[in-house]
Amino acid sequence: MATLELAGLAKSFGALAVLHGVDLALADGEMVVIVGASGCGKSTLLRLVAGLEEPSAGSVVLDGRDVTRLDPAARDIAMVFQNYALYPHMSVFENMAYGLRIRRLGRADIRRRVDQAARMLGIEGLLDRKPRQLSGGQRQRVAMGRAIVREPKLFLFDEPLSNLDARLRVQMRAEIRRLQRRLGVTSLYVTHDQVEAMTLGDRLVVMHEGRPAQVASPLEVFSRPANTYVAGFIGAPAMNFLPARLADAGRAAVLKAGPVIAFADGPRAGRDGRALIIGIRPEDVTVLPEGAAQGLRLAVDLVEPLGSETLLHGRLPGGAAFTVQRAGMVRVGEEMTVGFSPASLHVFEAETGRRLEPVSLAPPARVESSAAMHGSR
Amino acid sequence: MHRRIDWPAHLVLLLGVALFAFPVWLVFAGATQDAGAINRGDLSLIPDFSHLGIFLSVLLHGYGEAGGHPAWRMLMISAGMALSIAVGKIVISVLSAYAVVFFRFPFRMAAFWTIFITLMLPVEVRIIPTYAVMADFHMINSFAGLTVPLIASATATLLFRQVYLAIPDELVEAARMDGAGPIRFLFDMLIPVSAANMAALFVILFVYGWNQYLWPLLVATDPRLDTIVIGIVQLTFGGFTLTPWNTMMAMAVLAIVPPVVVVVAMQRWFVHGLAEVEK
Ligand SMILES: Nc1ncnc2c1ncn2[C@@H]1O[C@H](COP(=O)(O)OP(=O)(O)O)[C@@H](O)[C@H]1O
Ligand SMILES: [Mg+2]
* CA–CA distance, B58 with B231 (Å, rounded to integer): 11
* CB-based contact A153:A187 (threshold 8 Å): no
Q: Which whole number is the average pLDDT over A343-350?
A: 93
Question: B268 to chain A nearest CA, in Å?
Answer: 17
Q: Are residues A274 and A143 in the same domain?
A: no
Q: What letter represents residue A364's amino acid?
A: P
pLDDT tier, A198 (very low <50, low <70, confident <90, very high otherwise): very high
* CB-based contact A146:A160 (threshold 8 Å): no
* CA–CA distance, A138 with A168 (Å, rounded to integer): 10
Question: B210 to chain A nearest CA, in Å?
Answer: 32
Q: Is the pLDDT of residue A369 over 60?
A: no
* CA–CA distance, B92 with B118 (Å, rounded to integer): 14
The domain total for chain A is: 2
* CA–CA distance, A76 with A4 (Å, rounded to integer): 12
CATH code at A310?
2.40.50.140
Mean pLDDT of chain B: 87
Domain boundary among the residues A208, A232, A256 is at: A232
Q: Is the pLDDT of residue B118 over 50?
A: yes
Q: What is the pLDDT at residue B273?
A: 57
- Where helices occur in chain A by DSSP H, the ranges are 42-50, 92-102, 107-121, 136-149, 166-183, 194-200, 218-223, 228-233, 366-375
How far, in Å, is the centroid of ligand 2 from the Cα of A158?
7
Q: Are residues A60 and A154 in the same domain?
A: yes
Which residues does residue A280 pair with via DSSP β-bridges, in sequence order? A240
Q: Are residues A96 and A182 in the same domain?
A: yes
Query: The domain B71-278 is classified under which CATH number: 3.40.50.10680, 1.10.520.10, 3.40.50.300, 1.10.3720.10?
Result: 1.10.3720.10
Element (H, E) at B154: helix B154-165
Q: Which residues of A touch B177 (CB under 8 A)?
A: 50, 52, 72-73, 77-79, 99
**Which of A32-46, B103-117, B262-276 is the least confident region?**
B262-276
Task: Compare CB distances from A88 to B178, B180, B278 and report the shortest one's residue.
Answer: B278
Q: Are residues A127 and A225 in the same domain?
A: yes
- Chain A interface mutation, best of B178, B185, B188, highest count of A Cβ atoms under 10 Å: B178
Q: What is the pLDDT at residue A41?
A: 93
Atom 4 (ligand 1) nearest CA? A13
Q: What is the pLDDT at residue A290?
A: 77
Helix/strand/coil (H/E/C) assignment for every residue in A189-218? EEECCHHHHHHHCCEEEEEECCEEEEEECH
Q: Are residues A204 and A70 in the same domain?
A: yes
Residue A330 DSSP SS3 = coil
Q: Are residues A260 and A228 in the same domain?
A: no
Q: Per residue in A204-232, pLDDT tens?
A: 999 999 999 999 999 999 999 999 999 99
Residue A323 DSSP SS3 = strand
Q: Are residues A152 and A60 in the same domain?
A: yes
Q: Are residues A209 and A281 in the same domain?
A: no
Domain span at A252: 237-375
CATH code at A203?
3.40.50.300
Q: What is the pLDDT at residue B67?
A: 53
DSSP labels for B94-146?
HHHHHHHHH---TTHHHHHHHHHHGGG--TTTTHHHHHHHHHHTT-TTSHHHH
**Whether the predicted model's global pTM rises above the 0.90 cut:** no
Q: Is the pLDDT of residue A177 over 60?
A: yes
Q: Are residues A130 and A31 in the same domain?
A: yes
Which residues of B lie inside 8 Å of A (Cβ-Cβ)? Answer: 168, 170-171, 173-180, 184, 188-189, 192-193, 195, 278-279
Beta strands A211-216; A65-66: pairing state: unpaired
Q: Are residues A258 and A323 in the same domain?
A: yes
Q: Per residue in B164-174, pLDDT tens?
A: 999 999 999 99
Q: Per residue in B201-250, pLDDT tens?
A: 999 999 999 999 999 999 988 888 889 888 888 887 766 667 788 888 88
Q: Are residues A210 and A256 in the same domain?
A: no
The structural domains of chain B, with segments of one domain joined by +, span 71-278
Domain boundary among the residues A232, A262, A290 is at: A232
Residue A25's Cβ-count burial label (10 Å; 0-12, 13-18, 19+) is middle
Q: Are residues A198 and A246 in the same domain?
A: no
Domain boundary among the residues A198, A232, A266 is at: A232
